[in-house]
Amino acid sequence: METRKVYLDHSATTPVAGEVLEAMTPYFTDMPGNPNSLHRWGREARRGVDEARENVASLIGADAREIVFTGCGSASDNLAIKGAVWADKTGRKHIITSAVEHHAVMDTFKWLGRSGYDVTFLPADEFGMIRPEALRDAIRGDTLLVSVMHANNEVGTINPIEELGAICRERGALFHTDAVQTAGHIPIDVSNLPVDMLTMSAHKMYGPKGIGALYIRRGIKLVPLVHGGGQEYGIRSGTENTAEIVGFGASAILAKKLFEAGEESRVSGLRDKLLDGIESRIPDTFVTGHRTRRLPFHGSVCVKLIEGEGMLLRMDYAGIGVSSGSACTSGSLEPSHVLLAMGLDHATAHGSVRLTLGRDTTDEDIDYVLEKFPPIVEILRKMSPYKGG
């Protein structure tokens, strides 16, 4: 039987938009130049990279000279954090991040902690938000760097980065934010934000996988992690991934157009219908993360008494793609560090499901999910070892 297919895992990755693919394709075939070559093929490729840099910069209100292309969002996070820490000449050893970061930030800080840096992990509140008061309490005279994500990938909560960055400015610490989930989805203007470095990744905004960018405010010095031919202003050597960089630029143009066309409110309307529908149709279920200060396309819930993996697999069988909150990256069954940091107990955290909508999600898709999800939960609850407890 052919089932309907509803992809609701856009926080994990998005499809490459048609316009993006069209912009990239010639750079794989008819325009094969290395942007560092002096001949016409090289100059053509260089033009593609330069234009893309302008477009990515313009999406976040930056200057093109402040954008460095990297291999992915994780590479940008590593470059920002290690690059800033190693470039320091003041001898400061205290660095701060939060308890709910993506592993690209979290594990980098843990690793630096094992290499002699003094790391503070800021607590999150019940919505997964990092409160400015928590940073005020933790920041010190010897704090070198603070990294707090713009919005959380698991629960969608948007952090008050204006206030967090302002505290860093006041105290002379650098501020980095991982904007992988927000760039291209909500407006960002670094010209009005106290942010020194900001991470982006194309595949979360309808661009290709394996290309990231780091905004580095003019004047900030980073130590490169990759030495070589001196590309990307010497900060990230390696022949530019021309086609993907061009794709990133095209995805930035498209994202801007869609802001203007009201995509944010269209998708958040559908998301609210989904979350309200789940809460009203499935007992003992609640939304995780902040209800209003959240990414417009992001839904996440905890369904009590059952496990996220069971729901994910049955939803998959019904043609619906969602993700569970467990640490699926490591294949372990540890519940998500984000949900635990928000104060949920292990059993409840195991019942988490993330449903993230996209540009193609329709009203009918949401009706379909609301029809299929409740009976799946009912069956799993009948089989649940927790029932009757």
- The single residue among 153, 231, 251, 268 that binds ligand PLP, judged by CB under 6 A, is 153
How near is the Cβ of 102 to ligand PLP at its closest, in Å? 4
How near is the Cβ of 121 to ligand PLP at its closest, in Å? 16
Query: Whose Cβ is closer to ligand PLP: residue 190's or residue 366's?
Result: 190
Query: Whose Cβ is closer to ligand PLP: residue 212's or residue 249's?
Result: 212
CA distances from residue 244 to 4, 14, 98, 172, 232 in whole angstroms, order as listed: 31, 15, 31, 36, 15
Contact region for ligand PLP (CB under 6 A) — 14-22, 70-78, 116-124, 319-327?
70-78
Tokens of 240: 């530019």
Tell me whether residue 123 is exposed, middle or buried, using C-beta atoms within 10 angstroms of its C-beta: 0 to 12, 13 to 18, 19 or more: middle
Query: Whose Cβ is closer to ligand PLP: residue 241's or residue 285's?
Result: 241
Counting contacts by CB under 6 A, is residue 298 touching ligand PLP? Answer: no
Q: Is-catalytic flag, 328?
A: yes
Tell me how crowded residue 385 is: count the other CB atoms within 10 A of its CB: 9
Picking from 87, 43, 88, 46, the residue whose alpha carbon sits closest to that of residue 69 is 46
Counting contacts by CB under 6 A, is residue 180 touching ligand PLP? Answer: yes
How near is the Cβ of 295 to ligand PLP at its closest, in Å? 11
Counting contacts by CB under 6 A, is residue 14 touching ligand PLP? Answer: no
How near is the Cβ of 94 to ligand PLP at its closest, in Å? 23
Counting contacts by CB under 6 A, is residue 156 touching ligand PLP? Answer: no
Tell me how crowded residue 192 is: count the other CB atoms within 10 A of its CB: 9
Picking from 297, 321, 132, 101, the residue whose alpha carbon sits closest to that of residue 204 is 297
∠ CA 231-191-159, nearest 5°, is: 100
- The single residue among 178, 196, 232, 365 that binds ligand PLP, judged by CB under 6 A, is 178
Distance (Å, rounded) from C-alpha 291 to C-alpha 285?
A: 14
Q: How far apart are the first and last CA of the chain?
A: 38
- The DSSP letter of residue 202 is G
Helix, strand, coil percentages for the chain (3-state, nearest 5): 45, 15, 40
How near is the Cβ of 277 to ligand PLP at its closest, in Å? 25
**Whats the size of the chain, residue-wise?**
389
Counting contacts by CB under 6 A, is residue 72 touching ligand PLP? Answer: yes
Query: Whose Cβ is closer to ligand PLP: residue 102's or residue 271's?
Result: 102
Counting contacts by CB under 6 A, is residue 102 touching ligand PLP? Answer: yes
∠ CA 49-184-296, nearest 5°, is: 170
Counting contacts by CB under 6 A, is residue 188 touching ligand PLP? Answer: no
How near is the Cβ of 281 to ligand PLP at its closest, in Å? 29
| CA 106 centroid distance within chain | 13
Position closest to ligand PLP via CB: 73
- Binding string, residues 190-209; x marks residues near ligand PLP by CB under 6 A: -----------x-x------
Counting contacts by CB under 6 A, is residue 130 touching ligand PLP? Answer: no
Q: Which of residues 348-387 bind ligand PLP (CB under 6 A)?
A: none
Counting contacts by CB under 6 A, is residue 212 touching ligand PLP? Answer: yes
How near is the Cβ of 381 to ligand PLP at its closest, in Å? 30
Query: Whose Cβ is closer to ligand PLP: residue 97's or residue 153's?
Result: 153
State the alpha helices, DSSP H only, in the chain: 18-24, 40-59, 73-87, 103-114, 132-138, 161-171, 242-260, 263-281, 308-317, 337-341, 346-350, 363-383
- Indicate the residue type of 225: L
How near is the Cβ of 372 to ligand PLP at its closest, in Å? 26
Tokens of 33: 């130049």
State the alpha helices, DSSP H only, in 160-200: 161-171
Given 72, 168, 302, 328, which residue is catalytic?
A: 328
- The single residue among 73, 156, 184, 208 that binds ligand PLP, judged by CB under 6 A, is 73
Sign of the CA dihedral 38, 59, 247, 158?
A: positive
- The single residue among 149, 168, 302, 303 that binds ligand PLP, judged by CB under 6 A, is 149
Active site residues: 328
Instruction: By CB under 6 A, name the binding residues for ligand PLP.
Output: 72-74, 77, 102, 104, 149, 153, 178, 180-181, 201, 203, 212
